[in-house]
Amino acid sequence: MKISLSLENSNSKDVTIMVDALRASTTMITALENFQTIIPVKNIEDAEKLASKYCAVLAGERGGAAVKGFDTGNSPVEIQNFKGEILVLTTTNGTRILEGLKSKALVGSFVNAESVAKKALDIAENHIDVVMAGVNGRFAIEDFLGAGAIISNLQDHALDEMALASVMASQNKNWVNIAVKTSKSAQGLYELGLGDDVDFCLKYNIYDTVPMYKNGKIKRNL
Ligand code: MLT
């Protein structure tokens, strides 16, 4: 099995794991504990329309802060206070990346690293690409290290150089913690008073949930 690591766009037609560790991936994984379906939406207006059409909970951020008038932000900690059939979620990077994927698509992060790696192996035929969402096209260290936590479970396979680098970088969990907590993304969240989300996103393997994205919807199984 070929295992590669990319930024923003997947180069696999087989299986892709999207990683937006702070925070979209982690929010999606957490939300599936209390929701059956997540509809990720690129823009705020469409999110509002869909939420009112389906009487859904509406969550999302811009610049990290909760969107005005929404039920909650893109927060894995806060989303645990909500429950329902459908969650409509809009985020700056994570939802946009998912929309662009052409392969089977899974959502991964530190919180489900082992389970998402296992699921990808179950459904892939020859190529798993782990895609770092990044921040507006730029590399983000938290996604690189989150990808490393996932790919560490796939080391028996044919890793490309980026994938191997992420595994090596993620071996020391103490350094991973420091790097993620001092990342630009985390700093922005601390400034908004959302430090609890950073701590939560850094928990390893607390969920075996593996969100799967298909036809514009995210569910546990499709
Ligand atoms: C995103 O999708 O851009 C992020 O998850 C931003 C965030 O809410 O921290």
Identify the CATH number of the domain in which residue 133 sits: 3.90.1560.10
Distance CA 220, CA 90 (A): 19
Distance CA 127, CA 194 (A): 36
- Using alpha carbons only, how large is the chain's radius of gyration in Å? 16
Same domain flag for 38 and 143: no
**What does the pLDDT average to over 87-101?**
93
pLDDT at 222 (0 to 100) = 56
Q: Is 221 within the bounds of a domain?
A: no
Residue 127 banded pLDDT, cuts 50, 70, 90: very high
Nearest-atom index, ligand 1, CA of 23: 5
Mutate to test the pocket of ligand 1, among 7, 18, 23, 141 (most ligand atoms within 8 A of CB): 23
Overall domain count for the chain? 2
Boundary of a domain, candidates 69, 92, 115: 92
Indicate the burial class of 121 (C-beta count within 10 angstroms; 0-12, 13-18, 19 or more): middle
Q: Is the CB of 74 under 6 A from ligand 1?
A: yes
pTM (2 decimals)?
0.97
Boundary of a domain, candidates 60, 92, 124: 92
Q: Is 219 within the bounds of a domain?
A: no
**Residue 16 pLDDT exceeds 60:** yes
Q: Is the CB of 93 under 6 A from ligand 1?
A: yes
Under 8 Å CB-to-CB from 215, ≥6 apart: which residues?
Answer: none
Mutate to test the pocket of ligand 1, among 42, 61, 70, 131 (most ligand atoms within 8 A of CB): 61
Mean pLDDT rounded to a whole number for the chain? 97
Same domain flag for 151 and 166: yes
Q: Is the CB of 24 under 6 A from ligand 1?
A: yes
Same domain flag for 111 and 206: yes
Residues of the domain holding 106 = 2-24+95-210
Backbone phi, then psi, for 37, in 5-degree steps?
Answer: -140, 140
**Residue 221 pLDDT exceeds 90:** no
> What pLDDT digit, counting tens, does each position of 147-167 carry?
999 999 999 999 999 999 999
